[in-house]
Amino acid sequence: MADGRREPPPYGRDRIRGSLGSNSPYEGGRGGGHPSMRGGYPPHGGPGGGGGASYQTQERRPTWRNPSPGPSESRDAVPSTSAAVSTPAFSTNVHEPPPQPQPSSSGLGNIGRPLHRAAGPRRRPLADTLRTRGPDAPSKHGTTGQPLQLQSNYFKLLKRVDWTLYHYQVEMVPPCASPRLMQSLVNEHKKLLGGFVFDGVQLFTACKLSNDELVLHSQHDRTGDKYELHIQRVAVVDMTDETGIQVLNLILRRAMNGLNLQLVGRNLYDAAAKIPIREYHIELWPGYITSIRQHENEVLVCCEIAHKTMRMQTCYDILRECQRHDRNFKDAFRRAVIGCVVLTGYNNKTYTIHDVTFETTPESTFDTKNGKISFLDYYKNKYNLRIRDSYQPMLLSRAKKKDTRSGDSELMALVPELCQMTGLTDSMRSDFKMMRAMADHTRLNPDRRIERLETFNRRLQTSPESQEVFKVWQMELDRRLVELPGRLLPQEMIFFSTTSNGVQAGENADWTAHFRDNPMFATVRLSRWYLIVPSRCQREAGDFLNCMITAARGMRFEISNCEMVPMPDDSPGTYIRTLDAIINRDPQMIMCVVSNSKSDRYTAIKKKCCVERAIPTQIMVQKTITPKSGNVRTLMSVATKVVIQMNCKLGGVPWKVKIPLNGLMTIGFDVCHDSKDKSKSFGAMVATLDHDNRGTPKFFSTVSHHSSGEEISNYLPLNTVKALNEYRREFGELPKRIIFYRDGVSDGQLQYIYDHEVRSLVEKLGQIYKSAGIEQDVLLTFFIVNKRINTRFFDHRLNPRPGTVVDNVVTLPQRTDFYLVSQSVKQGTVSPTAYNVIYDTSGLKIDHLQMLSYKQCHLYYNWSGTTRVPAVCQYAHKLSFLVGQYLHQTPSNMLEKKLYFL
């Protein structure tokens, strides 16, 4: 280790009550007398179902109590989870969510987020899109740079959605708690309703009903129960607002049913086109992430290629491996599956495993209206699935909050044999060869990506079921990718000194080669430092030290020979004792060589030097400093990067770009959750302090602890004031202009960020500047930076070059936003970054904001090239990750002025 989007809500489940016996060889033979376990049943077997055995719910919210552990399985052996079986009472149901109903093309299932609800699940109301752009705002379209003609992964909705959508509210008499049953009752009137969308309370129709208030009559086709549907008109929906766009997304999802894709999680995947990688026992399912939205002048459909990693093994296969290789196979099995996401093939749904129960097996039974039934018979009768091992334990999965709100049981039982593992383990991710094999299929070059997008469009246009949906809703999709204008910003000049003319960053925005001939912009002499190394690594450490001194000499960085401190072993305790002895000598820096990347050793070193004391450290893994084929010169590239990193940690600056704004403070903010306690998070803020263009920038960083676990900071104004005070101490005055880049924000949080963070920040800054005698408004620009987006751009079937800006067609009319491609990639398709200006009193033109953001992407000193986000955002991410993953507490404030976290 070196320093160096939303699915329509599912239909509800009915439940049954029953007791379970046990016949498990894992617990020493057949047992009995266990407390009752309640199980749910699939929809086809309950009210409103369509076939199969008929069961009846006897209790609304049944519970299951864990049997007392036997002598071979104490409660203490159960790993600590939020759904541990040792909790006295959990509700559980036989896992089988209902399959999606298959209405005609006029019915689309659940839309979600009703305004009011008489029965069934409660959901959040729709939130309006945050509008941060006024009607009289200046143009958001820049002019600087070379014009480009690009393509994007969007398709136009050719027929303008000019039809009106009518919004009605439906009330069932008597009330009905089953969304699936409600959908069935409404489907009986599809000839009257025409094209419609129904979510259990809200009904949206393409045609106006005969009266604003109607009473329709429906009858359950199996039980004969009669229901009245009271329908009342609410409003007319504008197809460009949030509700209209949501309906359009559901129509598109319904049209995609004709492609025979499988819903896994939130996205649709093509299991028939799976790509097996048999060498590593995994397969990749190609799929699509789609969305419809009103953009500048058109309603556009965004389509991005996605892949789902499926492992060619079930939970039962893992159980057998644990039995073969581990004496305590129960704990090993728990460790292997708890927290994993599995796919149940019989209903194509994913579930997170929260615990394992060895007391319950597929032979266990539960009571139904027609008598007891075992899990074995249940799956045989319902799905024609034969469970081979009747003695295997059962997996327990806690239902999602939205499912429990709709009345589902809290805990569901799954059969390991029927659960396919998804995702990758940590050991798989660390396997370079395996990740490389996956990348060959998942990192699509632009031409391959375009070909896949065109294939998706062609399938959608030729599928009869898809065409029927489009016909009913009078929609037509363009067959071509959207074409749009872009611009290529000028290349930046990289300055290595105040007297040099600078060098161009290059077409690929990578200036690594220029370090061989240029000094660093500002250096700090390193004279007191120590190298801690295990005795067996001394030779490699000595060779690498010589390479570092040679590389530093070429960059005018003065490094004195350090004192090497050998250790007998590489245990964390030995490092701590050695550090304690060295820290008392007041070193400028300490370098530690570690034998491998184990996190406990890294954590111990960083805690000692970042929390207890304030000493910059550089940690190098033995493998990194070992020359390839014994040739020491192969280490020069690594040594150069390490020397740059060490200079930054001491307060030096390797290079600069020209920013023609004096009195500038640039701030980045990001959040990382605590890896030990997910309810905690750490917000990191890093500020760059530039007083004038020719001077050396200063840095300030601070970390705040948040116990809510959300990526929202209440301490942001306070930390900004700390940065302002540091600026005033350094330069004797407040900054003239503040540029704030806020990372880690989703679209759903924008309103909260604006109402709480931005407004409180503006208010606090106003107080500070007013107290300093400055009456004018603070020149503040607040950006939301988002790199997790599905938008892609293509320049003549190639990746756009770094510096490509798009601020039209695919941007949003209610925002001052733009996309910036700041990196070049050697594999796959480059991902742009979205910038959204939600507050701006700077008076700068959009051209200046775009160029300033691109300049900031050149200033991350861990890499002699551009980054996807502005450097201050990348620094904030690096700092929050260090604290959240390893330190778990705030670092010493003695390090606030240094980039010690690089």
Residue 87 burial class via C-beta count within 10 angstroms: exposed 0-12, middle 13-18, buried 19 and up:
middle
What are the start-end ranges of the E strands in 675-722?
681-690, 698-706
**Exactly one of 367, 743, 817, 847 is catalytic; which is it?**
743
Q: Which residues pair with 14 in a beta bridge?
A: 41
Confirm if 300 and 157 have CB atoms less than 8 A apart.
Answer: yes
Exposure on the CB side of residue 593, measured as CA atoms within 13 A? 27
In whole angstroms, what separates CA 115 from the centre of its chain? 28
Q: What is the CA radius of gyration of the chain?
A: 31
∠ at Cα 291 (166, 756), nearest 5°? 85
How many CB atoms are located within 10 Å of the residue 401 CB? 8
Confirm if 855 and 492 have CB atoms less than 8 A apart.
Answer: yes
- Sign of the four-CA dihedral 631, 634, 636, 639: negative
Confirm if 35 and 89 have CB atoms less than 8 A apart.
Answer: no
Confirm if 820 and 619 have CB atoms less than 8 A apart.
Answer: no
Taking the C-alpha atoms of residue 877 and residue 744, their distance in angstroms, rounded to an integer, is 9
**Exactly one of 3, 14, 355, 670 is catalytic; which is it?**
670
Q: Which residues pair with 596 in a beta bridge?
A: none
First vs last Cα of the chain: how many Å apart?
A: 13
The DSSP string of 569-623 is: ---HHHHHHHHHHHHTT--SEEEEEESS--HHHHHHHHHIIIIIS---EEEEETT
The DSSP string of 829-855 is: -PPPEEEEEEEE-S---HHHHHHHHHH
The DSSP string of 442-506 is: HS--HHHHHHHHHHHHHHHHH-HHHHHHHHHTT--EEEEEEEEEEEEPPPPEEESSSSS--EE-T
Residue 668 token pair: 């980045």
What are the start-end ranges of the E strands in 658-778?
664-673, 681-690, 698-706, 737-742
Q: Which residues pair with 840 in a beta bridge?
A: 781
Q: What are the backbone angles phi and psi of residue 607, rounded to the nearest 5°?
A: -65, -40
Q: What is the DSSP letter of 327?
A: T
∠ at Cα 769 (766, 774), nearest 5°? 115
- Tell me whether strands 419-422 and 299-314 are parallel, antiparallel or unpaired: antiparallel
Helical packing angle, 599-607 and 572-583, nearest 10°:
20
Contacts (Cβ under 8 Å, ≥6 apart) of 630: none
Annotation marks residue 670 as catalytic: yes
Q: Which residues pair with 658 in a beta bridge?
A: none
* Segment holding 219, helix H or strand E: strand 213-219
In whole angstroms, what separates CA 167 from the centre of its chain? 34
- Sign of the four-CA dihedral 256, 257, 261, 263: positive
Exposure on the CB side of residue 748, measured as CA atoms within 13 A? 7
* Segment holding 669, helix H or strand E: strand 664-673
- Closest to 772 in 3D by CA, of 734, 814, 715: 734
What are the start-end ranges of the E strands in 743-803?
779-786, 793-794
- Closest to 694 in 3D by CA, of 653, 735, 648: 653
Determine if the peptide bond prior to 800 is cis (ω within 30°).
no
Taking the C-alpha atoms of residue 102 and residue 100, their distance in angstroms, rounded to an integer, is 6
How many CB atoms are located within 10 Å of the residue 146 CB? 12
Exposure on the CB side of residue 116, measured as CA atoms within 13 A? 8
* Catalytic residue list: 670, 743
